[in-house]
Amino acid sequence: MSVLPSSRATLRVSAHGLWRRWRARLLAPVEHDAVIANVSDGGGLTPRYAFMAVMSCGIAILGLLQSSAAVVIGAMLISPLMGPIMQLGFSLCVVDFRMMGRALLALLAGVVLALGTAMCIVWMSPLREATSEILARTQPTLFDLLVALLSGLAGGYAVITRKGEAIVGVAIATALMPPLAVVAFGLATGDLGVAGGAFFLFMTNLLAIALSVTLIAKWYGFGMENSPRHTAWQAIVIATTFILLALPLGLALRDIGEQTWTANQTRAVVTKYLHARNASIEQITVVRSGPGYAVDLVAMVPAYISSAQNDLAVRLAMRLPSPPSVRVRQTLEANDNGRRDRADLDGLRLSVNALSAQTRHLRGELDSLAVERVHALLGDIPAEVMLDSMQKRIVVTLPPQLRGSTPPQAPVDEPAPPPTDDTVATLHERLSASIPGWTVEVVGLPDPMPAATLPAPTAATSAGPASP
């Protein structure tokens, strides 16, 4: 069924009418003059703006040095840079060069104050290492541009519809102050690579937000009085800026994607190779090195694999687009059988030690009982008893009174004769018979000597003293 030309014209007129009525309803609640005045007041260079710029960047650099995401988010919340950026976007939309100059002056002053504050803190800080929070802001990609674009649209909408609370979320999403603090860290430490990457991220966020605000302001009817020449100039500036930003950011995103794919493929090949040999990955890094990649692997292996580096180089060359350089370091670890054997040996050693301690304790008790048995057999003889349980040998040393001196229990006027060889032999036989299986020695035998005799009493002695 064909549509008549008159019907087509009617449809076009109706669609155009609907569009105009929708635009009128969309733009009706927007007070253009009030919005412009609000943007101009919030984006100027004031003492409050300068103070907040210094505080925000100071908090940001402290959070970055400590690698504290919470502190960095706090710095985003008080970042005052969104005001001048919003003013810059609206000035591009309405082609107000005076407003643009004020916005650029405020941005330049805020950047200088923030850089100076952060660099002083870095110089005074003992922490000079690039943390993960710092390194995360040195490699912007196309995703960062998209985030800034969407955030700028949301921020412009919040300003135009007087929903100022949404600006806080925009400031967090774009994170203007932390990249600027990373730039200061790179300058203070002399790391121009870190400073350059962070500055590129900062400029990406700044320009993307400003141009997004320009687009959303144009949508809501700002700058409608501009000439066609101004409109064309705006379109050229916006398109050129986004293209210039998108090209390097897109290449960076491609490189990151390629590196991620290479790292995943490398890990898969290495894991399969090591798993077949009962080994595992302890640490692996894949970084770009010239036209290709460099793989650094630390593997935990049960036994040294002499061909591991060559084998992995061949396998990775077959999987990856270009052969990487491979470095393999191996750390020996015990396998499951070895660990079980070691555990068994440790348990056996503990059992042996415990049994040895019990044996020593029992031997000591037996020695004490044997010594007591010998003393019981000796009776009142105070001899010295030495016992060697390992050789089952008992040595009895006689005291001096049994070697020819007078025993202490004998009266002084009636000395007992010293023991003879027969007496000591009898003692030796009695001890040997009472303690079978032991070697008994009795030392200190007295030498043979005649029995002591007293002189015969004389008559005078027996009769008493002589009479005078």
Q: What is the CATH number of the domain that holds 102?
A: 1.20.1080
CB 93 within 8 A of CB 214: yes
Question: Would residue 409 count as lying in a domain?
Answer: yes
| Position 451 pLDDT exceeds 50 | no
- Is the entire prediction scored with pTM above 0.85? no
Do 331 and 368 reside in the same domain of the chain? no
Name the pLDDT band for 339 (thresholds 50, 70, 90).
low
Question: Would residue 17 count as lying in a domain?
Answer: no
Q: What is the pLDDT of residues 409-450, one digit of tens each?
A: 444 444 444 445 556 677 677 777 777 777 777 776 444 444
Do 330 and 393 reside in the same domain of the chain? no
Q: In this structure, what CATH number is given to the domain that contains residue 293?
A: 3.30.70.1350
Do 332 and 367 reside in the same domain of the chain? no
Do 74 and 119 reside in the same domain of the chain? yes
Q: What is the pLDDT of residues 127-174, one digit of tens each?
A: 888 888 888 888 888 888 888 888 888 888 888 887 655 555 566 656
Question: Would residue 100 count as lying in a domain?
Answer: yes
Do 188 and 308 reside in the same domain of the chain? no
Do 326 and 375 reside in the same domain of the chain? no
Do 206 and 290 reside in the same domain of the chain? no
Taking the C-alpha atoms of residue 199 and residue 424, their distance in angstroms, rounded to an integer, is: 109
- The answer for residues whose C-beta is within 8 angstroms of residue 312's C-beta and 6 or more apart is 269, 270, 273, 295, 297, 326, 328
| Position 402 pLDDT exceeds 70 | no
Would you state the pLDDT for residue 184? 93
Taking the C-alpha atoms of residue 316 and residue 323, their distance in angstroms, rounded to an integer, is: 7
Mean pLDDT of 364-392: 70
- Which percentage of the chain shows pLDDT scores above 90? 7
Question: How many domains are contained in the chain?
Answer: 3
Do 52 and 145 reside in the same domain of the chain? yes
Do 382 and 284 reside in the same domain of the chain? no
| Position 97 pLDDT exceeds 80 | yes
Do 118 and 191 reside in the same domain of the chain? yes
Strand order in the sheet with 280-289: 280-289, 292-301, 325-332
Q: Quick one: which H or E segment has residue 123?
A: helix 97-124
Nearest to 263 by CA among 241, 294, 290, 238: 294
Do 439 and 391 reside in the same domain of the chain? yes
Question: Would residue 459 count as lying in a domain?
Answer: no
- 307 lies in which domain range? 259-336
pLDDT higher at 5 or 235: 235
Do 439 and 293 reside in the same domain of the chain? no
Question: Would residue 205 count as lying in a domain?
Answer: yes
Question: Would residue 6 count as lying in a domain?
Answer: no
